[in-house]
Amino acid sequence: MRKYLLLILLIFVMIISGCSENSSSSANETVNNYIIALAEKNKAQIVALSCKEWEESAILEIDALLSVESEVTNLNCKIVEESSTDIKVVCDGSLDLTYNDEIRAIDLSRRTYDLRYEDGQWRVCSYK
């Protein structure tokens, strides 16, 4: 009987641990990783962090950065709106683009990233 009780308790703990994946901190981490992947021009990572309908737009965004050097500065993301299926995230910091020794900084605080829980993780679906 104790073995069954222990097994049930173990299964319960695993279920609870699995539910924590849908946490808001993982949504912040998704946007953080998305912006870093963008700066690194990592198409595979961008696709993995994007909603299916956003993948093409994310790849186009990387393609637009191919002729410049890019670096993320002072990145810090926070949730500004949350529901059971969608989260909006805003980040402080900048995406610094360098071309011919001229640096142009994109202020990330002007973008609101829309995320949706898809295929077991938070994914970037767009930004405004």
Instruction: Write down the pLDDT at residue 80.
Output: 96
Q: Mean pLDDT across the stretch 26-39?
A: 97
Per-residue pLDDT band at 25 (split at 50, 70, 90): confident
SS3 78: strand
Q: How far is the CA of 60 from the CAs of 33, 51, 64, in angstroms?
A: 17, 14, 6
Where do the domains of the chain lie? 23-127
Instruction: Write down the pLDDT at residue 24.
Output: 67
Per-residue pLDDT band at 10 (split at 50, 70, 90): very low
pLDDT tens digits, one per residue of 49-85: 999 999 999 999 999 999 999 999 999 999 999 998 8
Q: Which helix (H) or strand (E) holds 8?
A: helix 2-19
Give the Cα separation of 107 and 71 in Å (integer): 12
Instruction: Write down the pLDDT at residue 84.
Output: 84
Give the class (CATH, top level) of 23-127.
Answer: alpha beta
